[in-house]
Amino acid sequence: MDKKDFNLKLLPYQAKMFRFARSLISPQEEAEDVVQDVYLKLWNNRQSLRKIQNLESYIMRAVKNTALNKLNKMGRIWEELEGSQDIQDFNTPETWTELNDTKKLIAMIVDRLPPRQRSIFRLREIEYYEIEAIAKLLELDPNNVKVNLSIARKKVKETFYKIVRHEV
Amino acid sequence: MKSEKLNKLIEKYYAGETSLREEKKLKEALTPENEYEKALFDYTLEERHQTIPTVFDQKINVNSTKKIRSRKFWSLAAASILILLISINFLRLQNTRLPNNGLITLKMGLQSSLVSERLKTLDSMSEEEQKAASAQTLLLNTLVSDRNINVRLAALRALEKQASKELLKELVNSLIEQNSPMVQLALIDLIISNADKVDTSDLKDLLNSENVFMESKTRLNEAIAL
């Protein structure tokens, strides 16, 4: 496979890769680095790409593994960051300025979801992934995905109203 | 859709039980009363169509990756020699030094495997630190050899405030080592804005180099014409 074929094959996934990496790891520079690493790995293994049936899920798995490895190196563990977000975290000048921009406020709340819920929420709402596909990618039980998705959806809404009603 | 049916669908949505098809229907059936859900779906749509960072396109430029791989040995050799020359030159030309512990902190920060750490190290440098010859050597090293474009650009930013004639010569020399058009252009902009300290013949040499990108050559040509 030459570089033109490779580009044609993979470039359509770049935004998706970046968004997914961003939901797994912050700050943004680290997410960019993850995507760059995955691209290099894929380029180095380009000969075997032909044999892969579901390229998107292969790429997204690579993004996940690379991001989680990086988190590990940073001394952070994705699974352990579970747990409810303290509503007081939103009592910041940053939140006050976003109050008038509903979409920005929602973005901020989603960003502060616990990592697993955030990834599930974003894969469903932004990438339109089926529950089974999310379960496979994140190596979780489909029911677990549904429960976490439900919690995340409710939590974003509740937090949104709490902030808007000045309960924080 | 009747409001009763819509409410049931919303309930199902929050329980995580809706299919993708039902979610599509839900989005279409929302009324002004569902203000929050409307904003939520607007946000998700916006995220989906959000453009990715500008540097991103450059970073995953596979063409340059291939170029790096195939020229790996020679690039590394050339970079090492260049760094060595730069180091010797700087130690000879300037006497200002950072206190040892400051230099070690800087060195460690720049060697971190995390991009954010390296960026933080560069952004937190004081003007005094940027001026020190030993720090400038490290910055030039970073500019030539760091694999992350953002870090290289940050190193260039740290160097630009102290652009002496000697430093500019090193920057001109380092241009051919850049495999990113974006860093090359940033370097050229810096060189052009300090044109009075640069030898025009050095710039003309760059025009003949095959390691200088087309975009960079265009910019250089414009500068030389002026």
For residue B65, what pLDDT is reported?
Answer: 46
Question: Shortest CB distance from A146 goes to which of B17, B55, B115?
Answer: B17
In this structure, which topology does domain A83-164 adopt according to CATH? Arc Repressor Mutant, subunit A (1.10.10)
Across the range A24-32, mean pLDDT stands at 83
Q: B220: which DSSP letter?
A: H
- For the record, the structure tokens of B15 come out as 């329980």
Contact A43 B43 (CB under 8 A): no
B-chain residues within 8 Å CB-CB of A73? 113-114
B-chain residues within 8 Å CB-CB of A102? 39, 43
For residue B72, what pLDDT is reported?
Answer: 60
Instruction: List, by residue range, all CATH 1.10.10.10 domains of chain A.
Output: 83-164
Write out pLDDT tens, residues A63-106: 999 999 988 887 766 654 444 455 556 666 666 666 668 888 89
In this structure, which topology does domain A3-73 adopt according to CATH? Rna Polymerase Sigma Factor; Chain: A (1.10.1740)
Instruction: Kindly give the parts of chain B with pLDDT less than 50.
Output: 54-70, 95
A-chain residues within 8 Å CB-CB of B58? none
Scanning chain B, the segments in alpha helix (DSSP H) are 3-14, 20-29, 35-48, 54-59, 62-70, 72-93, 100-111, 115-123, 127-131, 133-145, 149-160, 165-174, 181-193, 200-207, 214-225
For residue A153, what pLDDT is reported?
Answer: 97
Contact B62 A7 (CB under 8 A): yes
Q: How far apart are CA A66 and CA A31, in angstroms?
A: 10
Instruction: List, by residue range, all CATH 1.10.1740.10 domains of chain A.
Output: 3-73
Query: CA quadruple B191, B58, B53, A120: dihedral positive or negative?
Result: negative
**A97 CB contacts (<8 Å, ≥6 apart)?**
none
Write out pLDDT tens, residues A66-75: 999 988 887 7
Q: Please give the ipTM for the structure prediction.
A: 0.84
Contact B43 A32 (CB under 8 A): no
For residue B210, what pLDDT is reported?
Answer: 76
Query: Is residue A107 less than 8 Å (CB to CB) from chain B?
Result: yes
